[in-house]
Structure 1
Amino acid sequence: MSRRVPDRVSDVFNRIRHATQLKRHSVRMPRTTLTVDVLRVLLNEGYVSGVRVLGEPPRQECEVFLKYNDMDQSVIRTIRRISKPSRRIIVSARQLIPSRGGLGRFILSTNLGVISDAEARKLNVGGEVLGEVF
């Protein structure tokens, strides 16, 4: 019997996407190091308004507070997974182009940690493109 390994990044993106479609103000998800790193990038780039860790180890959860504009529309229009377990997308620093002409952000996993494409260009590093948000 094979054991299914969950794709945590897809889980984070799907939970956020579904919560914004339902106009929820917050969403909870299991806390992992990768989850916290991805949420930190979304927080630093202004796509979510806050992140809180709930519970005691080993059953901790992250509560993500979603951000909406004055017309009650989510700041996150689209959030999608690019590199998948079956197909890894790796880019060098020279190959990084701004997402949606600078309106969006790519989230990259680099040797310096999980960072946005803008920070990766500034630090001149490449890595695996986990996803895109705009």
Structure 2
Amino acid sequence: MTDPIADFLTRVRNAIMANHKVVEIPASNLKKEITKLLYDKGYVLNYKFVEDDKQGIIKIALKYDPKSKTSAIKTLKRVSTPGLRKYTGYKTIPRVLNGLGIAILSTSKGVMTDKEARKEQVGGEVLCFVY
């Protein structure tokens, strides 16, 4: 696998399309940080890190609207790929849906959203857009 972040996003996207309640993803530290951000911003219902003999598993409970049965996540879009990295300074961090969505960045101060990166005045690699 050449792009584990794209695999993470694709597994979540496929689970949403199939209306699954829980999705299991192989763990890594970067994936754990992205999962925590998605939970903090209200895009997923809950998550759990399960340790096994190998690399571990992230179990994510997806969030759906009870009435319309639509997911809280409309779009997960990978921005920076292994073939073409996208870096940005803090002054030019992209706004997602004019501030309604979030951009997840990997910075020197850790993984954070676009709003947090602007506040901390740090740039970095734009990993994905979520809205």
Q: What is the TM-score of this pair, normalised by structure 2?
A: 0.94
What displacement does 1:6 show?
Answer: 2.9
CA distance in 2: counterparts of 1:11 and 1:127, whole angstroms:
21
Matched, 1:116 2:113: yes
Gaps of 5+ in 2: none
What displacement does 1:97 show?
Answer: 3.5
Q: Which amino acid aligns with 2:62?
A: L
Residue 12 of structure 1 aligns with which residue?
A: 8
Counterpart of 2:81 (choices 62, 74, 84) is: 84
Q: Which amino acid aligns with 1:84?
A: T
User: RMSD over aligned Cα, in angstroms?
Assistant: 1.1
Gaps of 5+ in 1: none
Q: Which amino acid aligns with 1:102?
A: G
CA distance in 2: counterparts of 1:55 and 1:127, whole angstroms:
30
Counterpart of 2:26 (choices 27, 30, 52) is: 30
CA distance in 2: counterparts of 1:125 and 1:37, whole angstroms:
17
Counterpart of 1:39 (choices 35, 38, 55) is: 35
SS where residue 94 of structure 1 aligns?
helix
Query: Is the contact between residue 79 and residue 133 of structure 1 (CA under 8 Å) also seen in structure 2?
Result: yes
What displacement does 1:111 show?
Answer: 0.4
**Runs of 4+ with deviation above 6 angstroms:** none
What displacement does 1:50 show?
Answer: 1.0
Identity within the alignment, %: 33
Could you list the per-position Cα deviations for residues 18-66 of structure 1 after superposition, in whole angstroms to 9, with x for gaps in the alignment? Answer: 0000111110010111110111111111111111012324241110011
SS where residue 131 of structure 1 aligns?
strand
Matched positions, count: 130
Q: What is the TM-score of this pair, normalised by structure 1?
A: 0.92
